[in-house]
Amino acid sequence: IFAAVEMAPRDPILGLNEAFQADPRAEKVNLGVGVYYDDNGKIPLLAAVKAAEEQRLKLAPPRGYQPIEGAAAYNKAVQTLLFGTDSALLDAGRAVTIEALGGTGALKIGADFLNRLNSSAKVYISDPSWENHRALFEAAGFDVGAYPYYDAATRGVNFSAMLAALKGYAAGSIIVLHACCHNPTGADLTLEQWQQVVDTIRERDLVAFVDMAYQGFADGIEPDAAALRLFADSGLEFFVSSSFSKSFSLYGERVGALTIVTADRDASARVLSQVKRVIRTNYSNPPTHGGIVVATVLSDAGLRAQWEEELAGMRDRIRLMRTQLVERIAAAGVKQDFSFVVQQRGMFSFTGLTAAQVERMKQEYGIYAVSTGRICLAALNSKNIDTVAKAIASVIAD
Ligand code: PLP
Ligand code: TYF
C-alpha cells in the first residue's frame, strides 16, 4: 500500500530545526523557527504559568473529558483579551469561542467550518505569509490566492496595492489578515489603514479571518488588539484565530482559540452547534492542561499582573536585540542602513538577505535562517549577537 508514496518536502521552517539539531558545531545559532528564547538561549517557563501549574497539581483533579468547545472559563478569558472588559459585542452574545489546539488548530477548525458554508469561496492570504496558511486552507478544500502586501523597496506594506486587490475580489471571499506582528515581514498596517481594510471588507461583502498569534509582542495586550477592536466596532461578522503558544510560552501544550463573531445571540448558538460538529469529527474535545493554566492565570489578579510583566520582559528583550543587531552590523563595517530592523514589530525581521546569503550563513557559520531572509530576533542573545552580526556583515560584503 505504500509503494507509490513519495517523500513529502520538509516544512520550510520546522524542517530547519532538524537540520540544526544534526549540526555538530558548538557555536551554531537557530534563527529559523519563531520561538522566544531567553538570554540563556532557553525557552522560558513563565513564573505565572509555573504557579498555576502548581495550584492545579495540588488539586489533583480527575481527568475527565472537557466539553467539546473546551473550558468555559478559558473561552471567556480569551474573549476578554480579544475584545476588552467592556465590549458591546460580548454583552450582546455575538461571539462564540472554542478552545483549539494552538493557533493552527483554530485556523483549521475555522477553515473546515467555512468550507462547509461555501466551498467555492476563494481564500486570500498576504504575500508573503506564514508558510502554513496556504497549506492549511488548501487542505480544508479551498483555492488559495494572495493579496499584495510586502514591498521590498520600502520594507513596508504596499497598502495601495493591497487595498486595490481587496476591492477586486468576489463577494464572500475569505481574507486572512495578521492582527499584529506580521509573520514573516514584521511590517504591520497603521490603524488608519486597518480602518480602510474594515470598510473595504464591508463594502465588498468579504469575510475577514484575523489571525492573532503574537498578542502582546508589539506594544502590549491592549494596543496589539487595536485592529481587532476596529472589526468589533464595525458590526461585521468575522473569524479570529488566537494563540498562547508565544505569549504564555506554552508551545507544546497547544493552547489556542477560534472565535467567531456573528450577528446576534441566536446566530451564535447555531454557529456553535455546527462548529462543535467539526470538532467532534476531528478530535472530539481539546486537552485540558494548557487551557486551564491560561484561564487560572488570567482570572487571578496577581498571576495576571505577573504574566503581563513577564510578557513585557520578552517584548523588551526582543526590542533590545533589534537595536543591538543594527548597531553591531554597522560596527562590523556595513554601510547599508539596517535601521528598518528596529521599525519591524514582533519576533521576526525580513532582513533582505538572499537565499544564497542565508545558505552561506548556514555553511560557513552554522547560523540557520529561513531561506526568505526571515530571522527570529527572539533567538538572539548577549552571547550570540556578535557572531550573527559579523556573519551578516561577511555574507553581504561579497
Ligand atoms: N499564525 C501565525 C501567523 C503564526 O506565526 C503561528 C506560529 O506559530 C501560528 C498561527 C500558529 O500558532 P500555534 O503555534 O499556536 O499553532
Ligand atoms: O513561523 C514560525 O516560525 C512559527 C512557528 O508549521 C511555526 O509560527 C512554524 C511552522 C509551522 C508551525 C509553527
Whether 138 and 247 map to the same domain: the answer is yes
Residue to probe by mutation, ligand 1, list 245, 255, 258, 350, most atoms within 8 Å of CB: 245
Amino acid identity at 169: Y
What's 371's domain CATH number?
3.90.1150.10
Q: Is the CB of 14 under 6 A from ligand 2?
A: yes
Residue 223: closest CA among 190, 196, 193:
190
Range of the domain at 190: 65-299
Domain closes at, from 299, 332, 353: 299
Q: Is the CB of 110 under 6 A from ligand 1?
A: no
Per-residue burial over 87-118, b = 16 or more CB atoms within 10 Å of its CB, e = otherwise: bebbeeebbbbbbbbbbbbbbbbbbbbbbeee
Whether 132 and 239 map to the same domain: the answer is yes
Residue to probe by mutation, ligand 2, list 130, 217, 247, most atoms within 8 Å of CB: 130
What SS3 class is residue 65?
coil
Please give the model's pTM, rounded to 2 decimal places: 0.97
Give distance in angstroms: CA of 284 to centre of ligand 2: 25
Whether 241 and 379 map to the same domain: the answer is no
Whether 247 and 286 map to the same domain: the answer is yes
Q: Let me know if residue 292 belongs to a domain.
A: yes
Residue to probe by mutation, ligand 1, list 11, 182, 211, most atoms within 8 Å of CB: 211
Q: Cβ distance 188 to 180 under 8 Å?
A: yes
Residue 88: closest CA among 307, 312, 246, 261:
261
Q: Are strands 122-127 and 174-178 parallel, antiparallel or unpaired?
A: parallel
Q: What are phi and psi of 18, to 5 degrees?
A: -65, -45
Q: Let me know if residue 288 belongs to a domain.
A: yes
Give the bridge partners for 148, in sequence order: 127
Could you read off the pLDDT of 67-112 as tens digits, one per residue? 999 999 999 999 999 999 999 999 999 999 999 999 999 999 999 9
> What is the percent of the chain where pLDDT is above 70?
100
E strand intervals along 149-274: 150-151, 156-157, 174-178, 207-212, 238-243, 255-261
Whether 192 and 277 map to the same domain: the answer is yes
Give the confidence band of 10 by pLDDT, cuts at 50, 70, 90.
confident
Give distance in angstroms: CA of 102 to centre of ligand 1: 7
- pLDDT attached to residue 398: 63
Scanning the structure block, which residue is given the C-alpha cell 497603521?
190
Whether 29 and 137 map to the same domain: the answer is no
- pLDDT attached to residue 56: 95
Scanning the structure block, which residue is given the C-alpha cell 470598510?
199
ipTM above 0.95, yes or no: yes
Region for 209 from its dihedrals, namely left if φ exceeds 0, alpha if ψ lies in -120 to 50, beta otherwise: beta
Does residue 223 have a cis peptide bond before it, meaning omega lies within 30 degrees of 0? no
Give distance in angstroms: CA of 59 to centre of ligand 2: 34
- pLDDT attached to residue 146: 98
Scanning the structure block, which residue is given the C-alpha cell 519563531?
34
Could you read off the pLDDT of 296-306 as tens digits, one per residue? 999 999 999 99
Closest residue CA from atom 10 of ligand 1: 103
Could you read off the pLDDT of 187-243 as tens digits, one per residue? 999 999 999 999 999 999 999 999 999 999 999 999 999 999 999 999 999 999 999
Mean pLDDT in residue range 379-386: 97
| Number of compact structural domains in the chain | 2
Give the confidence band of 12 by pLDDT, cuts at 50, 70, 90.
confident
What SS3 class is residue 105?
helix
Scanning the structure block, which residue is given the C-alpha cell 463594502?
203
Whether 292 and 324 map to the same domain: the answer is no
How far apart CA 258 and CA 104 sit, in angstroms, is: 10
How far apart CA 233 and CA 88 sit, in angstroms, is: 9
Element (H, E) at 96: strand 95-101
Q: Is the CB of 256 under 6 A from ligand 1?
A: yes
Q: Let me know if residue 52 belongs to a domain.
A: no
Q: Is the CB of 247 under 6 A from ligand 1?
A: no
